[in-house]
Amino acid sequence: MKDNFKKIIAEYTLITIGSILTALSLVLFTVPNKIAAGGVSGIATILFHLFEFKVGIVILLINIPLFVIAVYVLGGSIGFKTLWGIVVMSLAVDILTPFLNPVTNEVILATIYGGVLGGIGIGIVFRGGGTTGGTDLIATLISYFFPQFSIGQGLFLIDGLVIALAGIVFNVELALYATITIFISSKIIDIIQEGFNISKSVFIISDKSTIIKDQIIQKMHRGVTAIKGYGGYSGKNKDILLVTINRAEITKLKNLIRNIDQNAFVIMNEAHEVLGEGFKKIDHKAINE
């Protein structure tokens, strides 16, 4: 019970911090520079510059009905965490705006740093198990009422419409900057979600797989998984080796394989988060919960 309470506090702390950082990205960078980077915040940015409507109030007024509809249609799966993220971010924008000046009036700098800070904020909110509503809720509802659209397509559609509107209201150049902000933000969210320590998953196909496997274990101290395979061209049974390494070990592994079998077939894929022996430890407490 105590551990569960700590977990809830930790999650809501993350959502609160992330929501405030997201609000700061709007206050310090994107809104003052007319960068309407998609979604509800983009709509709020446009309305602010057209009619001087408060950004936080607009975000709240759009999100709350969406949240109610989503809960009614989709049930309790939307969760109170989403509502908390919506309220904190909306209030933070309007509370902070009178006290903070834009960091820069250079649009390119606002585009980059607004995307980075917004991505960090939303990524932290996601790590806490919440969202800041807006685009996510709309896309989910679109997918529900129109099953031919996936949530990803719904997100693309909404952001595209908002950016197009920004191009009409402001200018095409600012709309293009908004597109860059969305791209940067999405990449930062992925990094926050998946981790900075990008490793490599390596598949090795060789007629000398047994020797390669033994050398990897002995010289690199990495575990190797042998997967039974069948050569479609050769018609022979083969072991496909799977090993996960960090970036510093890539050259060492290549040289090891080359010295044993220059004809080996090697495939390397990025693994953004690796849990287990030799890498990041698995949080057994989180699993048990």
DSSP alpha helix (H) spans, the chain: 2-25, 39-51, 55-74, 80-96, 107-127, 135-145, 151-169, 172-194, 209-215, 250-260, 284-288
Task: List the structure tokens of 249.
Answer: 């070990």
Alpha-carbon distance 239 to 236, whole Å? 10
pTM of the model: 0.77
**Collapsed DSSP state (helix, strand, coil) of residue 280:** strand
Q: What separation in angstroms does the CA of 126 have from each of 1, 36, 227?
A: 24, 22, 35
Mean pLDDT of 245-254: 83
- Domain boundaries defined on the chain: 2-194, 199-271
pLDDT of residue 286: 47
Task: List the structure tokens of 75.
Answer: 């049930």
Q: Is the dihedral of CA 244, 249, 250, 253 positive or negative?
A: negative
pLDDT bucket at 276, cuts 50 / 70 / 90? low
> Among candidates 251, 263, 270, 269, which has minimal Cα distance to 209?
263
pLDDT bucket at 249, cuts 50 / 70 / 90? confident
Say whether pLDDT at 284 is over 60. Answer: no
pLDDT of residue 237: 83
> Among candidates 283, 197, 199, 196, which has minimal Cα distance to 242?
199
**Collapsed DSSP state (helix, strand, coil) of residue 221:** coil
pLDDT of residue 289: 45
Alpha-carbon distance 159 to 37, whole Å? 7
Question: What CATH fold (topology level) applies to the domain 199-271?
Answer: Alpha-Beta Plaits (3.30.70)
Mean pLDDT of 84-112: 96
**Collapsed DSSP state (helix, strand, coil) of residue 16:** helix
User: pLDDT tens-digit profile of 122-171?
Assistant: 989 888 888 888 777 787 778 778 887 766 677 778 889 999 999 999 99
Mean pLDDT of 55-68: 93
- Edge-to-edge strand order for the sheet containing 225-230? 225-230, 237-246, 199-205, 265-271
